[in-house]
Amino acid sequence: MNDPSNVLGKVRRSLGRTAPLTRAPVPPSLSEPLIRLVLSDIGLPQLFEKKALENKIGVTPLRVDDLAAELVAFLHSKHVKTVAVPKSAFLDRIGAVDALRAAGFVVSTWDEMTVDDMYDVDASVTDVWKAVAETGSLVVRASPEHGRCLSLIPPLHVAIVEPKNCVADLIDLFETATASGDASAFTIITGPSKTSDIEMNLVIGVHGPEKVHVFLLA
Amino acid sequence: MLSFVQTALQKRVDDFHAHERIDFDFHRSSVASSGNERLKRAIDNAVLRSDRGRSLKLLELPDSDKLRDLAGEIKQHTLDHLDYYLEQTAINVEKRGGQVHFASTGAEAKKIILDIVHKANCHNVIKSKSMVSEEIELAHVMEAAGINVIETDLGEFIVQIDHDKPSHIVTPIIHKDKESIAELFSNYFGTPYNCDPDALTKQAREYLRDVFRKADLGMTGGNFIVAETGDICCVENEGNVRQSMTTPRVLISLIGIEKLVPRMADLSVMLKLLARSATGQSMTVYSSIFSGVRKAGERDGPDEFHLVLMDNGRTEILASEEYRETLRCIRCGACLNACPIYRKIGGHSYGSVYPGPIGALLTPMFQGLGEYKDLPNASSLCGACYEACPVKINIPKHLISLRRDIVDQKISSPIERIIYRIWAWTYMATWRYKLISFGQKTVLRLQAGGSSWLKRLPPPGSGWTQVRDMPTPAAKTFREMWNAK
Ligand code: SF4
């Protein structure tokens, strides 16, 4: 800690104290009924779907057996040639990566890429850490397998969400994040990148993906 | 050698500041912009939309009023124990491989940041929007020090290449129309004129993508810092903050010391209120929570992370139990959007980076009442700002207190003080009051000559009628009517 002008001391004096507190202060208790918007854990994937659509995230609900074919068809329809994926046991297990390769896409896995490579990729296909039903958000978490840039730099981000990824409310997300607090970063994604800076005109697609699509497994 | 370079740099930075002349006259600036119909329409349109969006989106919450109470309590508690939470933050950020620097002034913050940039040998800086960096004009200082720094938020980028200033803390270019932006882009990029917002955004996007690719240092602000984990929370819609924390090898977050919350769970309260209050969204597109350096094995994110916590006048506000709560502000801009005065005069009239009701409080407190003594008067005290504020800062009350301070400290002009003294004396006796109101009525009715509006008052009232008309006084005063009853 680098505090040449003793800002900490000044803060303490401003609060009328001379020594550090000896006991941790107790913050106001967080009253759940005030904060929580989603009260039940039933039907979370459906709620997630509804909210995601409101945020202009595309959603295709499907069975895992149909995923490979649907994914390939979807990427073809978007004229995608090159795809980046995280190193993910889940994606391997459901056969997503093999299906993409078999369909002729050039697939690069994050552990053999650099950030710079990501600028030349048409789309990313990723798993997610969590999905928040309340807000229809995807949550991605940085790890050696899952780079921060995967869901940021390619113009199209396709996310594969399992029902067990879903949490009800932002409260639940932050509780989980506190409990498993070992990530260097996570981002809550609630729609395609956008701006309304110019005369409040909504423009989709600024520095992040202009399209976000979810394949929601049953 | 290095120290020589640094001394030379410091000198350039000092020179830069020497040229910065504060020459602020609220009266002149506000009169100028309240006469600008185009500007007024643009701002009204934009701001009213956000204000309506806020009211609508708050309805999604079980009890938004009580949630605002809770948010206010969380921030107040943090401020009341700020020394504890700052220390906790510093310890946690360091645990995660980050370096923590406290800066007592803007100058100190700038020096710390320039030192980091030079030591890390960085040349291409991408900067995302943050109010603290505006507060200390960081980008200008970096430019003056020969660093290639690019604002990457679309609005801030436009402000930067136009050498303009932001006029709103959330939507920085609401004072600009698309035609003027198109003209600017056409000149700057040497491309044909096209005023379609989509095309303009695309053009900036293409340009900035190359900038991101080359960047070796990212700068962010922070909406919140979570003391218990040392995490920074940044919210945005465009993705440029994410670029800053992803691509460059060095990351600096410059944040005011008041931005802390104790727990990660507090973010659920804050995020549910912030976007709703700011832009009428349930959530911003990206909420990123990050700290420290990338972990072993991670292939993106910074190798070097610095958190610069800046005081710059905040401890003085903290020391005042009366004004401390103004530091709760989460910079959502709701009070600007709700303010009838802001809507008429726009952000530039306030002469500082913090406009609107909260600016009318913060600017005089940060910069001193002397120069900015008119700002606390730039309010009709209608209370719309207090109603809108997600952390329930009682802005009207504090504006009145500042007015009191101006009187107590004898900052107002001697003439003004004499006038008020005479006024008070007149109103202290019934006969004097009657005499004056009779005189006033007679003179003004004569001047109006039968019209129901007065275009111009005689001095010292002439300033008041410069931008509005005054209704002609009624033929009978209230007293006369009452007595005749
Ligand atoms: S004072 Fe309140 S309403 Fe105004 S910007 Fe700050 S938090 Fe928002």
Spans of all domains in chain A: 42-217
Residues contacting residue A213 through CB under 8 Å, at least 6 positions apart:
A57, A58, A59, A60, A74, A156, A157, A158, A159
Q: What is the pLDDT of residues B238-254, one digit of tens each?
A: 999 999 999 999 999 99
How far apart (Å, rounded) are the C-alpha atoms in residues A202 and B140? 30
Q: Are B178 and A199 an interchain contact pair (Cβ–Cβ within 8 Å)? A: yes
SS3 B113: helix
| pLDDT value of position B35 | 65
pLDDT exceeds cutoff 60 at B319: yes
Mean pLDDT of chain B: 90
Pairing between β-strand B286-290 and β-strand A185-189 as defined by DSSP bridges = antiparallel
DSSP string, B43-75: HHHHHHHHHHHHHHHHTTSS-HHHHHHHHHHHH
Whether pLDDT at A210 is above 80 = yes
CB contact under 8 A, A193 and B99: no
The model's confidence at residue B23, banded by pLDDT at 50, 70 and 90, is low
- Does residue B460 have a cis bond before it (omega within 30 degrees)? yes
Q: Tell me the sheet residues that pair with B255.
A: B309
B202, B289, B316, best to mutate vs chain A, most A CBs in 10 Å: B289
Q: What is the pLDDT of residue B368?
A: 81
**pLDDT tens column, A93-104:** 999 999 999 999
- For residues B147 and B11, which has the higher predicted lDDT (pLDDT)? B147
Burial of A139 per CB tally in 10 Å (0-12, 13-18, 19+)? buried
Residues, chain B:
485
Nearest CA to CA, how far is B75 from chain A (Å)? 9
Q: What is the pLDDT of residue B455?
A: 86
**C-beta of residue B218 within 8 angstroms of C-beta of residue B302:** yes
**pLDDT value for B419:** 86
Per-residue model confidence as pLDDT tens digits over A138-152: 999 999 999 999 999
Whether pLDDT at B18 is above 50: no
Which long-range contacts link A49-52 to residues 24+ away (Cβ below 8 Å)?
A: A49/A136, A49/A214, A49/A216, A50/A136, A51/A133, A51/A134, A51/A135, A51/A136, A51/A137, A52/A136, A52/A137, A52/A214
Q: What is the pTM of this model?
A: 0.90
ipTM passes above 0.95 = yes
The residue among B5 and B154 whose pLDDT is bigger is B154
Q: Do B301 and A148 touch (CB under 8 A)?
A: yes
- So what's the pLDDT on residue B477? 83
- Please give the pLDDT value at position B2: 37
Token digits of residue B65: 């009023």
Q: Looking at per-residue confidence, does B15 or B395 come out higher?
A: B395
pLDDT above 60: residue A81: yes
pLDDT in tens, B419-457: 888 889 988 999 998 888 888 889 889 888 888 898 888
Listed by number, the residues of chain A in 118-147 with a beta carbon closer than 8 Å to a beta carbon of chain B are 119, 135, 137, 142-144, 147
Phi, psi of A20, deg, nearest 5? -60, 155
> Residue B426: enclosing H or E segment and its boundaries?
helix B414-427
Report, as an integer, the average pLDDT of B292-316: 96
What are B133-162's pLDDT values in tens digits? 999 999 999 999 999 999 999 999 999 999
The pLDDT of residue B15 is above 50? no
The alpha carbon dihedral of B399, B400, B404, B410 has a sign of positive
* Mean pLDDT, residues B56-76 taken together: 97
pLDDT of the residue at B33: 66
Burial B116-137 (b: 16+ CB within 10 A, else e): bbbebebebbbbbbbbbbbbbb
Can you list the domains of chain B with their CATH numbers? Answer: 2-176+216-315 (3.40.50.10420), 425-483 (no CATH)
**Looking at the predicted structure, is the pLDDT value of residue A153 above 60?**
yes
Report the first-to-last Cα separation within chain A, whole angstroms: 49
With a 6 Å cutoff on the Cβ, whether B332 touches ligand 1 is: yes
Give the pLDDT mean for A211-218: 97
Question: Smallest Cα–Cα separation from A2: which of B104, B335, B145, B456?
Answer: B104
Q: How many A from CA of B359 to the centre of ligand 1? A: 9
Confidence tier at B370 by pLDDT (50, 70, 90): confident
* C-alpha distance from A66 to closest chain B C-alpha (Å): 29
Q: What number is the average pLDDT over the span B176-180? A: 90
The predicted pLDDT at position B415 comes to: 84
Q: Number of helices and strands (H, E) in chain A?
A: 8, 12
For the domain made up of A42-217, give the CATH fold.
Rossmann fold (3.40.50)
Contacts of A24 in chain B (CB under 8 A): 84
pLDDT of residue B31: 67
In chain B, residues with a C-beta closer than 8 Å to the C-beta of A187 are 242, 286-289
What are the backbone angles phi and psi of residue B150, rounded to the nearest 5°?
A: -120, 130
pLDDT digits (tens, 9 = 90+) for A112-127: 999 999 999 999 999 9
Q: What residues contact A46, with CB distance under 8 A and at least 6 apart? A: none
**CB burial class (10 A; 0-12, 13-18, 19+) of residue A37?**
middle
> Ligand 1, residues B171, B389, B392, B399: which to mutate, most atoms within 8 A of Cβ?
B389
Question: Taking residues B270-286, what's their average pLDDT?
Answer: 96
| Cβ of B272 less than 6 Å from ligand 1 | no
Write down the pLDDT at residue B352. 84
Is residue A109 within 8 Å of residue A139, measured between CB atoms? no
Ligand 1: residue whose CA is nearest its atom 8: B332
**Mean pLDDT estimate for chain A:** 96
| Residue B476 φ then ψ, to 5° | -110, 140
Give the one of A2, A15, A185 whose C-beta lies nearest to B301's C-beta.
A185
The finding on whether B391 has its CB within 6 A of some atom of ligand 1 is: yes
CA distance A164 to A161: 8
Q: Is pLDDT of B276 > 70?
A: yes
With a cut of 80, say whether residue B229 has pLDDT above it: yes
B17 exposure class (CB count in 10 Å sphere: 0-12, 13-18, 19+): middle
Residue B110 has pLDDT above 90, yes or no: yes
User: How much is the pLDDT for B13?
Assistant: 39
> Containing H/E element for B368?
none
Rounded to a whole number, what is the distance in angstroms from the first to the last CA of chain B? 90
Least confident interval from B26-40, B99-113, B267-281: B26-40
pLDDT range class, residue B1, cuts 50, 70, 90 = very low
Q: Is the pLDDT of residue B37 over 80?
A: no
What pLDDT digit, counting tens, does each position of A50-66 carry?
999 999 999 999 999 99
Quickly state the pLDDT bin for B17 (edges 50, 70, 90). very low
- For residue B32, the model assigns a pLDDT of 67
Q: What's the CA-to-centroid distance between B224 and ligand 1, angstroms? A: 14
Contacts of B81 in chain A (CB under 8 A): 15, 21, 25
Could you tell me if A64 lies within 8 Å of chain B, comparing CB atoms? no
Residue A216: pLDDT band by 50, 70, 90 thresholds? very high
Q: Is the CB of B335 under 6 A from ligand 1?
A: yes
**Would you say residue A205 has pLDDT above 60?**
yes
Residues B324-355 have pLDDT tens digits of: 999 999 999 999 999 999 988 888 888 888 99
Query: What is the Cα–Cα distance from B458 to B98, expressed in whole angstroms?
Result: 64
Decide if pLDDT at B388 tops 60. Answer: yes
Mean pLDDT score, A166-177: 97
Q: Cβ A197–B158 below 8 Å, yes or no?
A: yes
pLDDT of residue B12: 40
Identity of the residue in B61, B152, B290 whose CB atom sits nearest the CB atom of A185: B290
pLDDT over threshold 90, residue A207: yes
pLDDT-above-90 percentage for chain A: 94
Distance from CA of A178 to the nearest CA of B (A): 7
The C-alpha atoms of residue A117 and residue A100 are separated, in whole angstroms, by 19
